[in-house]
């Protein structure tokens, strides 16, 4: 995978430990604290190949920042453009919020549909149970009537 940062760096994905950043584009600004925080952890990193041939690594969080458009905020030796970083983070926050709300609405709709189907199935089962109870009640009444007739017949024949 090759991406460009500041139009002068190539990014190759690797796995490494103790990720550090030496590129001026990645060692300044808000992403530098992420690089320092992840410098002691084992993580998937991206190797930066500078035009001079030296390499540096970029953490997954930084490469995610690059994929979010943060690589456009790099202006070479001057570091990050804070206005562009705020703009990208604001638009990404809006996009994530929009996606989250859409997912929430989708899951609620699925839940409602599932609940409606469950309620219909339970209602049907309840009606079937009530019908069965009614049939059993009728059979019980018939059996009681037959038993009383049998008892009366037995009592009258024993006289």
Query: Helix, strand, coil: what percent of the chain each, to 5?
Result: 60, 15, 20
Write the pLDDT tens digit of every residue in 38-53: 444 444 444 444 455 5
- DSSP designation for 24: T
Residue 21 structural domain? 4-80
In a domain, 38, yes or no: yes
Number of domains, the chain = 1
Residue 86 forms beta bridges with which residues? Answer: none
Write the pLDDT tens digit of every residue in 58-87: 454 455 555 555 555 455 555 678 888 888
Asked if residue 3 lies in contact with residue 71, where contact means CB atoms within 8 angstroms, the answer is yes
- For 20-81, where are the alpha helices, taking DSSP H only? 30-37, 60-67
Query: What is the SS3 assignment for 7?
Result: coil
In a domain, 53, yes or no: yes
pLDDT at 28 over 80: no
- pLDDT for position 108: 97
In a domain, 8, yes or no: yes
Asked if residue 89 lies in contact with residue 80, where contact means CB atoms within 8 angstroms, the answer is no
In a domain, 36, yes or no: yes
In a domain, 156, yes or no: no
């Amino acid at each position: 995978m090759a991406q460009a940062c500041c139009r002068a760096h190539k990014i190759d994905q690797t796995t490494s430990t103790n990720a550090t950043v030496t590129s001026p584009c990645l060692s300044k600004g808000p992403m530098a604290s992420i690089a320092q925080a992840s410098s002691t952890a084992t993580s998937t990193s991206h190797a930066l190949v500078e035009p001079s041939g030296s390499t540096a690594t970029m953490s997954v969080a930084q490469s995610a920042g690059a994929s979010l458009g943060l690589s456009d905020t790099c202006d070479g030796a001057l570091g990050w453009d804070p206005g562009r970083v705020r703009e990208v983070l604001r638009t990404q926050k809006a996009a994530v919020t929009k996606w989250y709300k859409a997912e929430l609405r989708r899951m609620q709709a699925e839940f409602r549909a599932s609940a409606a189907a469950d309620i219909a199935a339970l209602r049907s089962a309840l009606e079937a149970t009530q019908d069965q109870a009614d049939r059993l009640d009728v059979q019980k009444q018939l059996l009681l009537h037959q038993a009383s007739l049998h008892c009366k017949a037995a009592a009258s024949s024993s006289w």
